[in-house]
Each structure stands twice: as structure tokens, then as C-alpha cells.
Structure 1
Amino acid sequence: MLEFAVWTFAIGAGIAILVVAGDKLSDKIVEVAKKAGISPLVISIVLISLATTLPELTTSALASYEGVNGIALGNALGSIFANIALILGLASVIKPLRASPSAYENSLVMLISMLFVILLSLDGTLSRIDGVLLLAFYVVYLRWLLKRHAKIDVEEGKYGNATSWDYIILLVLGLFLVTGAKMVVFGGENIAKALGVSDFVIGATVVAIGTSLPEMTNALYGAIRERGNISVGNIIGANIMNALIVLGVASLIRPIQTGASTLTVVLVLAAMIPMIISLKKAGGIGRKLGLYFLFLYGLYLALLFSGFEL
């Protein structure tokens, strides 16, 4: 009984941390952007995406070090799919997301990053050289991003100047999101095991959704506060980091055998391409597309529980 109480407390406390940190983080992004004259989209793509992608980076890096290639690769691809199909699906159903033209431009980089991973994987392996290429791609992208999209008009004197502490606070709030997610996963995973639920089901539900909770919290708060650029920017940035940083670091540690099925890639592209088209034509993501994303995620779970190798 004591163990169940601890696990239940971990879930409750983790959710509370996610709610509070997500609320504060959304406000802080806007504040720092106005202080520094930096687009909130860029802050979401770089700083917040870095913080919220730490669970995936840690998981894939450790899996690669231990030689568990399936987890290292599947974690990154599965996170990319969940970020769009589950998280943007939920956020846009709650409230349609508006985004700037910059979001469309960066979504093209997201697609190119995914295609680059597919190209490097055609020989059956993501080698250490491939890892270097993926990381180099991200450095080039980051330079382009900061040069092209960083600066906006500053409201002189109204918010003061951004300091190093402002950026540290952003990262700390992002890390609080990661901590909250870890607590929820810890509690949920242990309760599921105690109830006799299989590791397969735990991995496909509690752990998979748990590692995406930081992105989900940030995206949902962006939707509720009508800050679509933050919701969309975080997802775009997280997906680019999953493709280039997470897989880049993992393959540098140990070459990864690319055993993911074609169906996984098809599902990722089936979510990614309509998202990009919607950002171009509609300037955001509406409820109908959000429902389509959720349908895709439901299909993914149905295939997963049917025994398909995804």
C-alpha cells in the first residue's frame, strides 16, 4: 500500500509540476522574446525544444551505448510521430493554432531533416560519419535560423533588456517540465507493473506518452493562451532535434542498425506533409487536421497492439 501511495503521489506531483511549469514557461517565452527582440518561434524552436527533448536524447544515447538499436532509433522516430499526431492533434482540437510564415519555412527544414535521415539509412546503418553529418546539418540550420528569423522589432523601454538570467530561467523551467514528466512515467510504470500489465503495453503507452509530456504541456498551454507560434515552434524544433541531434548523438556513440519498418516512416510522413501544407495554405493548423492527426495516432496504437513491427 505504501508503494502505491508513493507512485500515486509521484503521478500527482508530476502533473502539478507540468501544469505550473508549463504555464510559467509560456509566459516567460513571450517576456524574453519581447525583451530581446527575438521571435517567440525561435525561442521555442531552440531553447524550449532543447529542454523538452532531453528525455528522448537521454533515452536514445543510453540505448545506443548499451547496443539496443531498436530503442535508440524507434524512440526518435516515435517521438517525431507523437509530437505531430498526438500533441499537435490535441492542441489544435482544443483551439486552432495560428502560426507565422516562419513556422512554414522551418517546417520545411523539419521535412528535409527527416528525408536526410532516410537517405543516410538506405545502406542499413546510421554510422558515426552519418552522426557527424546529422549534427553538422543542425549547426548549419541553427546559423541560418538565427540569421534569418531571430530579430523582431523591440518595444523600447517597455520590457527592459533580456539578461543571461532570463535565458537560464527558460532552461530551468524546461527542465522542470522534464522532471514532472519523469515523475509521471515513474509512477505510472510502477503501478502498471504492479497490476500485471506487460512491459510491451507500458512502453507503448505510459513511457511513450510520458516522454512527450514536456512538449505536450507546452503545446497545450500555447493553444489555450492563443500562442500558436509557441505550440507549433516547439514541435517543429523538437522534431528537428530528434532527427538531427538525438539520432546524431546516438549514432556517434555506436552505429545504429536502421531496422525500423517502412510503415513507421510512412506514418511520420503522412502526418508531417499535411502539417506543412496547412502551415503554407492556412497559416496554421485547424481542428479538422487535428482530428486527422488523432486518427493517425489511434491507427498507430491499433497497429501496435495488433503486433505490427513499428
Structure 2
Amino acid sequence: MSVSSGLLTQVSIGAVALYTLVTAASRAIGRLLALAEYYDVDEVLVGMTVLALGTSLPELSSHLIASLGILSGVLDYQVTSAVVIGGNTGSSTVQQFLLVGVLLIGYGTVHVSRAFVYESYLPMLGAIGATMLLAWDGTISRLDGVLLLGLYLAYVGAILTFRERTQSLREAPSENPRRDAVVATGLLVLVLLSASLMLSVVEVIVGALALGGSMVGIVTVGVAAALPELTAVMDAIRRRSPHVALGTLIGSNIVNPLVGIGLGGALSTYAVPPAVVRWDLPFKLVAGLGLLGWVLYWREGAFTRTEGGYMLGLYFVFVAGRLLLFPGQ
């Protein structure tokens, strides 16, 4: 078998693993939501656990498998760290700019309240800033990982304590809880197996093409892992319920760095590529602050299709800048 055909085989296997990962995660979320409805779990708790963590399941499973692979010596420390951190920041950037842009262009004007800014948007910016600060030295240590996880738990505690009970889009109640629990468990196992296969293949591809691991993570794991959120956006446009999708996108941007990178760092530590702390996270933070100021003080709390267009442009500026300034990372 030639080198090119062998590489094509690896790419094909990786694509199937990535598709399986995202599809199984999406179906697991549906089963878990049905179980939550059956047992009448509080809507806010569902939003902070099943929806926020569930839509980030591809990223979280990748981090878990990556850290276990690093600890066991099966996966390369530098390459695997770069791939999963790149995938994490890539997915978050897709959600923060590209998918919010799609939502606004598809739906139209969305008004955000001060409460939403304080409860969701500012914590998102805080999560980005905390991750950038802890990763600035080029590593995520176990202490850094524990701190990130602690910040997420503190955030959830504050939301459950002070936020009022609200309605959200929910699945129909489970008609067979035992069956759905078994199916959800099987799907979660499939998610982990797919993540393991995908990371092994990506490591081979990175080595064969001499590409930067974090850039590969951004354009593969990062884009594919945002597909559950894309489904939420399209469903919200169809149902004319944009605030649910906006909350899910912002919530995932809190979960990804705090839980994803935090969990992986606490288990195995990570080596952080310079591009992540010099471009990825600063870009997300500065652009997020700029948009917040623009919307609050110029648009008086209204996101319009104009802002949606700006967000689409910001995503492509992010990718272009990454490729031009840090091509080997």
C-alpha cells in the first residue's frame, strides 16, 4: 500500500469516527432529555447539565479519551494536547461567531436583557479569560484543571441559587425509561470509542503531513463538534425561539473551556500551543468584549442581522489569521 493510499484510508476512518461521535452524542442528548422530562427535573438544572454538557459531549469525550491516552502512553503528549485544545477552541469559536451569526441572519433581531448579559455572556467572557490566564505559561497543570472545574461548579451553583425557574424547549417524556437509560448508556460508550479511534487517526495524520496539531483540531474536531449546536440553531429558527439557541451557544462556550480543558488538565495536564494563548483565546475575548459594548451601548441590547453578518466575518478573520500567523501550530 502506498503512502498516499494509506493516508487516504486513515482520513476515511477518521471521518467515519468523527461522524459516529457527533451522531451518537446528539442521539444520547435526546434520550437524556426524555428521561429528564419523565422524572420532572427542573428546567434550569436540565439546561445546565443535559443541554450545556450534552451539546459539548464531543469535546468532553475527546478530552477524556485524550487524557487517558496520554496517561497510558498510547497517545503522544504534545500532539494530542494540541489536537484537543485546538478542537476545543475551534468549536467554541464556531459557536460564538459562526453559529450566532447564522441564528441572527436566519431569525432577525434578537433582544438580550441585562440579566442574560450578567448570567451568561459575562461568565462566558470570564471563562475565556480564566483559561487564557492559566494557559499563558504554555501548560495546563493539574492545579489549573481543578481551578477551571471549580469555576464551573461555582457558576452552576450561582445559577441554581439565583436564577428564576424558566420554560425551555423539552423533549416528550420517555415512554420507557429503562430502555432509554440503557440506550443512552450505550450511545455514551459509542461516543467514547469513536473519540478514541478519531484521536488515534488524527495523530497519524498530523505526523504524516507535518501539520500543526491544534490547527487540525480546529478544522476537524472543532467544526464537527459544533454540529449539535447547529441543530439547536436551525430548530430555534424554525420554532421562532432564538433565546433558547442563544443560551445553548453561550452555555457551551462556558462548558468547553472550564469542563473540557479543566477535566483533561486535572487528569493528565496539557501542553498548550503558543497560538492558543497568542491568537485563539485573545481573539475570542477581545471580539466578545467589542460586540458586547457595541450591542449594549449602540444597539441598546438588540442583535440584528447586521451583527450576524459581522459575526460571520469575525469567524473567517479568526481562521485566516490563524493560518497566516501560526501555520505550523
- TM-score where L is the length of structure 1: 0.70
SS, match of residue 77 in structure 2: coil
Aligned-partner Cα distance in 1 for 2:102–2:26: 16
Alpha carbons of structure 1 residues 123 and 209: separation in structure 2 relative to 1, 3 Å: closer
Contact preservation (8 Å) 1:97, 1:285: yes
Alpha carbons of structure 1 residues 284 and 224: separation in structure 2 relative to 1, 3 Å: farther
Equivalent residue for 1:123, pick from 137, 151, 154? 137
Equivalent in the alignment of 2:52: 49
Superimposed CA distance per residue, residues 116-165 of structure 1 (whole angstroms, 9 cap, x where no aligned partner): 112222333221111111111111111111122242489xxxx99xxx89
Alpha carbons of structure 1 residues 233 and 116: separation in structure 2 relative to 1, 3 Å: same
Equivalent in the alignment of 1:243: 257
Equivalent in the alignment of 1:79: 91
Alpha carbons of structure 1 residues 202 and 22: separation in structure 2 relative to 1, 3 Å: same
Q: RMSD value over aligned CA atoms?
A: 4.8
Read off the aligned partner of 2:52 and give its amino acid letter.
S
Q: Count residues in correspondence.
A: 290
- Measure how far apart 1:234 and its partner are: 0.8
Matched, 1:264 2:280: yes
Contact preservation (8 Å) 1:45, 1:233: no
Contact preservation (8 Å) 1:22, 1:221: no
Contact preservation (8 Å) 1:92, 1:286: yes
Matched, 1:67 2:48: no
Aligned-partner Cα distance in 1 for 2:42–2:240: 19
SS, match of residue 233 in structure 2: helix
Matched, 1:296 2:314: yes
- Measure how far apart 1:238 and its partner are: 0.7
Question: Matches of residues 110-259 of structure 1 in structure 2 within 5 Å?
Answer: 110-152=124-166, 204-258=218-272, 259=274
Equivalent residue for 2:61, pick from 43, 58, 61? 58
Superimposed CA distance per residue, residues 16-75 of structure 1 (whole angstroms, 9 cap, x where no aligned partner): x97xx989x89x979x88x96955x76444321211111111223316544132123222
Read off the aligned partner of 2:265 and give its amino acid letter.
S
Contact preservation (8 Å) 2:101, 2:311: yes
Superimposed CA distance per residue, residues 78-131 of structure 1 (whole angstroms, 9 cap, x where no aligned partner): 222111111111121111363653431211111111111122223332211111
Aligned-partner Cα distance in 1 for 2:63–2:134: 18
Aligned-partner Cα distance in 1 for 2:141–2:210: 33
Contact preservation (8 Å) 1:129, 1:252: yes
Alpha carbons of structure 1 residues 246 and 38: separation in structure 2 relative to 1, 3 Å: same
Read off the aligned partner of 2:317 and give its amino acid letter.
L
Read off the aligned partner of 2:50 and give its amino acid letter.
L
Contact preservation (8 Å) 1:97, 1:227: no
Contact preservation (8 Å) 1:83, 1:215: yes
The unaligned stretches of length 5 or more in structure 2 are 1-7
- TM-score where L is the length of structure 2: 0.67
Q: Which moved more, 1:225-234 or 1:121-130?
A: 121-130
Read off the aligned partner of 1:59 and give its amino acid letter.
S
- Measure how far apart 1:257 and its partner are: 2.7
Contact preservation (8 Å) 2:60, 2:256: yes
Aligned-partner Cα distance in 1 for 2:42–2:63: 31
Equivalent in the alignment of 1:94: 106
Contact preservation (8 Å) 1:111, 1:272: yes
Percentage identity across paired residues of the two chains? 23
The unaligned stretches of length 5 or more in structure 1 are none
Aligned-partner Cα distance in 2 for 1:209–1:279: 27
Contact preservation (8 Å) 1:222, 1:231: yes
Superimposed CA distance per residue, residues 259-303 of structure 1 (whole angstroms, 9 cap, x where no aligned partner): 324122232124322444466564453211111111111122323
- Measure how far apart 1:77 and its partner are: 1.9
Aligned-partner Cα distance in 1 for 2:241–2:105: 14
Read off the aligned partner of 1:273 and give its amino acid letter.
L
Read off the aligned partner of 1:103 and give its amino acid letter.
F
Superimposed CA distance per residue, residues 154-184 of structure 1 (whole angstroms, 9 cap, x where no aligned partner): 9xxxx99xxx89x979x89x97xx89x99xx
Alpha carbons of structure 1 residues 207 and 244: separation in structure 2 relative to 1, 3 Å: closer
